[in-house]
Structure 1
Amino acid sequence: MNFKDLAKNRYTTKKYDATKKIPEAEVNQLKEILNLSPSSINSQPWKFTFVSSQEVKNQLADVSYFNDAKVKEASHVVVFSVLDSVKLFEEQIHKNLPEGPISYYNQFLKPKSDDEIKAWMSHQVYLALGFFLSACASMGIDSTPMEGIKSEGYASILGLENYKPLFSVSIGYRDTEDANQPSKKPKSRLALEEVVVEL
């Protein structure tokens, strides 16, 4: 299946088949793919937490607003977190990046406020989300990106220090009766000419 067909068939899964689990080899492949995600200046200000434990998923469900069923029933929940300390981020890039990217950071980002730098770091995590959703689709794995989570609750349950959960993604295999799948509910998008401009 080519990428356009994958895009047509991929959708936000609303109901999972809780009896179907993603094989470990494919989970490991997704971990490797996330590790290859793109980011500005190769900054990588992130952490990805894979949760398969039903006990932990149940705890996360309690702090996931209306997404609780998707968290409980999915094979795995992947939590995308961003570094929550500019100081630690700067230590990381000085340790891992060459002079060029560090110079870019020092010139264009470091003069900004901590809140602006943290917003920029969060944008990098969203780049990884798009990469991940596409990877799942290519592997026949269904997914549900969810911003509807209580960040502090997730951090406490997962024992995250210096990282702030931004969103999570449930992954697994759809229930055949999921009403949101394209065969039951056709995709709705704005007209191409409304969103794509050529100059």
Structure 2
Amino acid sequence: MEKEAASKQSDFYQIVLGRRSVKSYDPEVKISHEEMTEILEEATRAPSSVNMQPWRFVVISTQEGKEKLAKLAMFNQTQVATSSAVIAVFGDMKSVEYAEEIYTKQVELGYMPEEVKEQLLTAFKPGYENMAARDMRDLVLIDASLVSMQLMLVARAHGYDTNPMGGYEKGKVAETFGLDSKRYIPVMLISVGKADKEGYPSYRLPVDTVTTWA
């Protein structure tokens, strides 16, 4: 039992400390729909404010989809062309519409009693429904960034490499893939695939440089 725990711990550190931003992939390696679904399911175990899970994904893996994306990501052509898929991550400005579904399921699964569900929905739902757009945008960007980091680590656990990208035409990406651009806020693109060569290590500032102890 102790040996198994040590092995899992070792795997965890290898995943976290061995992660690299990979920009070129083996174009012959494809990720199946089933495995990509597993990766996304595991990624969405990430935390979110009041469990609203405002992240939304567009998985771009077809030639047609990649051609559309390539026009919007001029500085990331290699990632788009060679990766198994590029995942466009969005934040849903109206995620509260799923509140009843999420909390009802929590009760059905035995995660909380009905009265707690009603108390929580009464406490936060009106605030979500009436929140200023700027504040909601900040909230969904934070939550969608959490799931994005988890997605990259989960992909590595599946044996794949990733690269987060912000260099693309964010004002056009939602409508290009059939989403309402006022509702769905672009967060980042994440290329996923098998690296055709190892990613480069990079320097990190010392903890004392980035941390204040209070």
TM-score (norm 2): 0.77
Residues 34-81 of structure 1, C-alpha deviations (whole Å, 9 max, x = no match):
343321110111211212101211210110131122112100111111
Counterpart in the other structure of 1:90:
96
1:165 aligns with 2:186: yes
Counterpart in the other structure of 2:106:
none
Counterpart in the other structure of 2:110:
none
Distance across 1 between alignment mates of 2:44 and 2:148? 12
Out of 7, 13, 21, the position equivalent to 2:16 is 7
Out of 152, 158, 175, the position equivalent to 2:196 is 175
How big is the shift at 1:114?
2.0
- RMSD over aligned Cα, in angstroms? 2.4
How big is the shift at 1:152?
3.1
Distance across 2 between alignment mates of 1:52 and 1:6? 24
CA contact (8 A) 2:96 2:125 kept: no
Q: Secondary structure at the match of 2:175?
A: helix
Q: 1:196 to 1:138 in 2, by over 3 A?
A: farther
Q: Secondary structure at the match of 2:203?
A: coil
Equivalenced residues, count:
190
TM-score (norm 1): 0.82
Which residues of structure 1 form unaligned runs of 5+?
Answer: none
CA contact (8 A) 2:40 2:151 kept: no
Counterpart in the other structure of 2:111:
none
Amino acid in the other structure paired with 1:138: A
Q: 1:171 to 1:110 in 2, by over 3 A?
A: same
Out of 101, 105, 109, the position equivalent to 2:124 is 105
Which residues of structure 2 form unaligned runs of 5+?
Answer: 1-9, 104-116
Counterpart in the other structure of 2:144:
125
Amino acid in the other structure paired with 2:86: V
Sequence identity percentage: 25
Q: Secondary structure at the match of 2:26?
A: coil
Q: Secondary structure at the match of 1:2?
A: helix
Out of 204, 207, 214, the position equivalent to 1:189 is 204
Larger radius of gyration: 2
